[in-house]
Amino acid sequence: MYEITVKGQTGHSRIQVGGRLADLAGHLSGQRAIFITDRNVAALYQDRFPPGDVIVIGCGETNKTLDTLAAIYEQLIALEADRTTVIVGIGGGIVGDITGFAASTYMRGLRFGFVASSLLAQVDATVGGKNGVNFKGYKNMVGVFNQPAFVIADIDLLTTLPRAEIACGVAEIVKHACIADAAYFEYIEAHCDGIAALDPAVMLHLVHRSVVIKAGVVNQDEREAGERRKLNFGHTLGHAFEKTLGISHGAAVSAGMLLAAEFSMHKGLLSANAFNRLRALLERLGLPVALAFDRTEVFNALKKDKKRQQQEIHFVLLEKIGQATVASVSLEEVARWLMQRP
């Protein structure tokens, strides 16, 4: 097991990679616990939760709303949760984001932690202290920065995770390697079969390296004023694909990363060799590298990106494998390049 610490303004978060759901009781500090999970995770794992009340929410992004949050507050009141209660979200990123927000706001904030059960939650969503819900079609529009007291990333839980959900986590793993760690990229290149087979030693290494990278970035820039923006590599175009094509986040980010790499090459920053390596790796991992998309629709979605500032967007460019830079790029330049691509 590895332990990584995120040092946030609201407190420290201890992340145990390779920790176990079975050891959750040890993190509750003798406090009364209330668990929040979703229907899928409850069906598979609720019998392994420590003693305590359980709040079950529906599955999927459509449940990441203020309505679900209100239903959670109601149940917390009915269960007489108070400032001495600890709240634990057990599930994927959706359970985590909602639980963190509910626990941060109910009675002005209770102690909370997570057991991350999806690969994306383990390598990304439970690291860094962003909590929140969607609002009127805008993703993560309402929320708070607040670090969970503890996170358990239990690799064994991944065995029941659907393949498409594994792919979402793998896309973020490749992102971490691209922006921060060439040796990690090489490791992924050498272990594609182990990833496909969910080899526990390989998965442990991946979750560990990714958490170290994300925690390192967050420790430098918790509030996303600079360094943390690099974690958006592939996401500016990825979000546009997700919206316009209705595909999964992982698939969109994969194609978004390759297109961002192409743009980096177009701007003379990235070598063709590095671009080809990224494309080959994504292909071997079964992630999409090229999508048929409507340029105008994608460009219109880019214009609506909430991270846009006036006519400029913070675009994450790749300089080489393992090194990214954030540039302020005008929407017009992106449009020109998108339109003239073959």
Ligand X SMILES: NC(=O)c1ccc[n+]([C@@H]2O[C@H](COP(=O)([O-])OP(=O)(O)OC[C@H]3O[C@@H](n4cnc5c(N)ncnc54)[C@H](O)[C@@H]3O)[C@@H](O)[C@H]2O)c1
Binding residues for ligand X, rule: CB under 6 A, are 38, 40-41, 44, 59, 61, 64, 91-95, 97, 117-118, 120-121, 124-125, 128, 130, 140, 157, 160-161, 165, 168
The dihedral sign for the CA sequence 244, 258, 211, 326: negative
Nearer to ligand X by C-beta: 121 or 215? 121
Nearer to ligand X by C-beta: 113 or 128? 128
Distance from C-alpha of 196 to C-alpha of 245, rounded to nearest angstrom: 26
Nearer to ligand X by C-beta: 94 or 206? 94
| Burial of residue 239, with CB atoms counted within 10 A of its CB: 0-12 exposed, 13-18 middle, 19 or more buried | buried
Nearer to ligand X by C-beta: 33 or 95? 95
Nearer to ligand X by C-beta: 161 or 178? 161
Contact assessment for residue 321 and residue 278, using Cβ atoms and an 8 Å cutoff: yes
* DSSP structure class, residue 60: S
Nearer to ligand X by C-beta: 38 or 262? 38
Smallest distance from ligand X to CB 339, Å: 30
Give the contacts of 317 (CB within 8 A, at least 6 positions apart): 260, 263, 264, 267, 269, 270, 324, 325, 326, 327
Smallest distance from ligand X to CB 62, Å: 10
b/e burial code for range 265-278 (CB count within 10 A of at least 16 → b) = beeebbeeebbebb
Element at 337 (helix H, strand E): helix 331-340
- Tokens (6 digits) for 190: 């050498």
Smallest distance from ligand X to CB 336, Å: 31
Smallest distance from ligand X to CB 140, Å: 6
Q: What is the residue whose two structure tokens read 């094509």?
A: 245
Smallest distance from ligand X to CB 157, Å: 4
Smallest distance from ligand X to CB 291, Å: 19
